[in-house]
């Protein structure tokens, strides 16, 4: 499973140690495409990339991901953008928030929680977010494959075919 992890970068790196713990947990469920978000030296690593290159790379990774996990304690325009894009791509999203930081979570994030494809979990310690991640991944696996991932598995990523199911002479025709 490909996992897209979001965390504040330019909005503040105060929680990078927490990001490392979350990424370590996520690795037990699959490949974390954005593991670099948890690197303390991230800005040094990305210094040779311009903003457009970062956007293109990250959106490519987001399209490859089956799920998105975002640490949303530190307010970040970039994380909000990634979450919005994930929603438009019909990706299941888990947002993790630490209330003890003294900040309030955006109403737009908290209000989006629907317990079907968008989840918000408050945590204070590692065991808390590990539990939310376990439940989220379990729920995702229980729900089975999404329509798009079924097509990707059947036909590959580069071509799309139309599969129609019906009885013989049911009025179906193909162009």
Q: Give the model confidence (pLDDT) of 144-155 as tens digits.
A: 644 445 545 555
Q: What is the overall mean pLDDT for the chain?
A: 85
Residue 154, pLDDT score: 52
Residue 158, pLDDT score: 47
| Residue 77 placed within a domain | yes
Tell me the CATH number at 63.
3.40.50.450
- The domain in which residue 34 lies consists of 2-145
| Residue 153 placed within a domain | no
Residue 145, pLDDT score: 47
Asked if the model's pLDDT at residue 160 lies above 50, the reply is no
Q: What is the DSSP string of 35-78?
A: GGGG-TTHHHHTTTS-HHHHHHHHHHHHHH-SEEEEE-SS--HH
Q: What are phi and psi of 154, to 5 degrees?
A: -75, -45
Residue 55, pLDDT score: 95
Q: Is 100 helix (H, G, I), strand (E, B) or coil?
A: helix
Distance CA 85, CA 62 (A): 8
pLDDT digits (tens, 9 = 90+) for 118-139: 999 999 999 999 999 999 999 8
pLDDT digits (tens, 9 = 90+) for 86-114: 999 999 999 999 999 999 999 999 999 98
| Residue 160 placed within a domain | no
| Residue 159 placed within a domain | no
pLDDT band at 78 (very low <50, low <70, confident <90, very high): very high
Q: Which of 91, 122, 96 is CA-nearest to residue 3?
A: 91
Taking phi first (over 0 means left), then psi (-120 to 50 degrees means alpha), and beta for anything else, what does residue 29 get? alpha
Q: What are phi and psi of 8, to 5 degrees?
A: -60, 135
Number of domains comprising the chain:
1
| Residue 80 placed within a domain | yes
Asked if the model's pLDDT at residue 175 lies above 60, the reply is no
pTM above 0.85, yes or no: no
pLDDT digits (tens, 9 = 90+) for 27-55: 999 999 999 999 888 777 788 899 999 99
Residue 110, pLDDT score: 94
């Amino acid at each position: 499973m490909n996992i897209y992890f979001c965390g504040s970068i330019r909005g503040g790196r105060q929680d990078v140690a927490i990001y490392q713990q979350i990424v370590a947990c996520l690795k037990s469920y699959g490949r974390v495409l954005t593991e670099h978000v948890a690197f303390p030296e991230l800005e040094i690593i990305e210094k040779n990339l311009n903003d457009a290159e970062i956007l293109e790379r990250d959106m490519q990774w987001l399209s490859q991901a089956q799920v998105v996990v975002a640490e949303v304690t530190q307010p970040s325009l970039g994380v909000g953008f990634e979450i919005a894009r994930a929603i438009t791509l019909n990706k299941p999203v888990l947002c993790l928030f630490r209330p003890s930081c003294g900040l309030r979570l955006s109403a737009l994030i908290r209000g989006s929680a629907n317990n079907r494809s968008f989840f918000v979990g408050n945590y204070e310690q590692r065991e808390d977010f590990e539990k939310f991640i376990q439940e989220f991944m379990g729920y995702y696996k229980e729900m089975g494959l999404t329509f798009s991932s079924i097509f990707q598995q059947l036909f590959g990523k580069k071509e799309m075919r139309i599969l129609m199911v019906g009885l013989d002479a049911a009025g179906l025709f193909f162009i």
